[in-house]
Structure 1
Amino acid sequence: MAWILSATAIFLLGVYKSRNGVLMQPRLRNIFISCILLLALAWNVRAHLPNSNIDNLIDLSFHFFGASLLVALFGFWSAITLLFIVALVGVFGISGDLVETSRHYLLVSVIPALIACGVMKAVQRLLPKHLFILILGNGYLAAFVSTFATGLLIYGLQQYFQMTSFGTSDPLGWFLGLLVLSFMEGSLSGMLLAILLVYRPQWVSTYQEERYMNA
């Protein structure tokens, strides 16, 4: 029950915080629907790594999470609001388990989104304002760091609370698999962000043309 209450509270807070943001823009409505459906599909189309737990959605499997990319596109609060709907469609729609849905939402959506948001703010504050830096920082680096840090946190929780359903108990296997997963997440996020910045820059809320094109 704690998982469900926590997930619901964060979702409602996200709705409140983003009430005047990009989620209220009718021109982006089709984009939101597309993101929800594509991510829900991506969460369930996976190639499992060795020693992973195929019976649980929280495991080291070769697939795309997308939390960092949504933060880069729409901002943190809008991203976690959309990710809640993704979890309902992609997890609850398959398993019918609200606890599993809430746990997935909190551990592999909210936490990486929060870490990615922190990385993006650090990139914006510390690094030069160039388009390449934006793609590298908000696309690749934010996705890699958020995925890797979240994986370490999940493994730590598994060890501390003896949550064996989270995946493998092999530290080396977990670490190597996490590196592969993080590189894949970073590469896909960076590539997709670069494509969107070229063809649909108006969809990327972290992009300000006057700041990055005149630098």
Structure 2
Amino acid sequence: MAWILTACAIFLLGVYQSRHGVLLQPRLRNIFAVSILLLAIAWNIRAELPNSNLNNFIDISLHFFGASLLVALFGFWSAITLLFMVALTGIFTFSTDLVETTRHYILVSVIPAFFAMCVIKLIHRYLPRHLFILILGDGYIAAFVSTFATGILIYILQQAFDVKSFSTTDPLGWFMGLLISSFMEGSLSGMLLAIMVVYRPQWVSTYQEDQYMNA
């Protein structure tokens, strides 16, 4: 019940914080719907990490999270609002387990989105506004760091809660798998962000062409 209440509270806070933001822009409604659908499908196309166990507290598998990319596209609050819908579509539709759905939403959506937001804010604060920095920083680096940091945090939580199913896995193999997953997340996010900035800049609500092209 705690997972459900926490997830619903985060979702409602996201809706409130983004009530005047990009979620209400008609020009982005189609991309919102497409993002939710494609990300829900991506969450169900996965390869398990070495020696992973699906009975773990939460599994980190080789699949596209998409949380960091949504933060780079629409901002943090809009991203976690959309990710709640992704969780309902991609997890609850197949498992019909609301606890698993909300747990997945918090640990594999909200937390990576939070880490991505922190990285993006640091990049914007200390680095100049440049198109290359936008793609490399907001796209690749933010996605890599957010995925890797989330994996380490989940590992620590699993050890702290003494999850027996995880104690039989190979920590080194799991760590190497996490590195691969982080690189994959960064590469896909950076590539997709670059494509959208070049061909559909109107879809990237955090991108101001006058600031980046004149830098």
2:192 partner letter: L
1:46 partner letter: R
1:3 partner letter: W
- Match in the other structure for 1:151: 151
Answer yes or no: is 1:105 the counterpart of 2:105. yes
Q: Percent identity over the alignment?
A: 76
- Pairs aligned (count): 215
SS at match of 1:48: coil
- Match in the other structure for 1:35: 35
1:172 partner letter: L
1:117 partner letter: M
Q: What is the Cα-based RMSD across aligned positions, in Å? A: 1.5
Name structure 1 gaps, 5 residues minimum.
none
Cα distance in 2 for residues equivalent to 1:168 and 1:89: 32
CA displacement 1:71-94 (0-9 Å, x = unmatched)? 000100000000000000101111
SS at match of 1:46: coil
TM-score by length of 1: 0.96
Is the alpha carbon distance of 1:93 and 1:80 closer, same or farther for their aligned partners in structure 2, counting shifts above 3 Å?
A: same
Note if contact 2:57-2:163 (Cα within 8 Å) is conserved in structure 1: no
- Match in the other structure for 1:94: 94
Shift of 1:100: 0.4
Name structure 2 gaps, 5 residues minimum.
none
Cα distance in 2 for residues equivalent to 1:122 and 1:172: 30
Cα distance in 1 for residues equivalent to 2:132 and 2:30: 28
TM-score by length of 2: 0.96
Cα distance in 2 for residues equivalent to 1:56 and 1:138: 31
- Match in the other structure for 1:190: 190
Cα distance in 2 for residues equivalent to 1:79 and 1:69: 9
Note if contact 2:49-2:174 (Cα within 8 Å) is conserved in structure 1: no
Is the alpha carbon distance of 1:82 and 1:114 closer, same or farther for their aligned partners in structure 2, counting shifts above 3 Å?
A: same
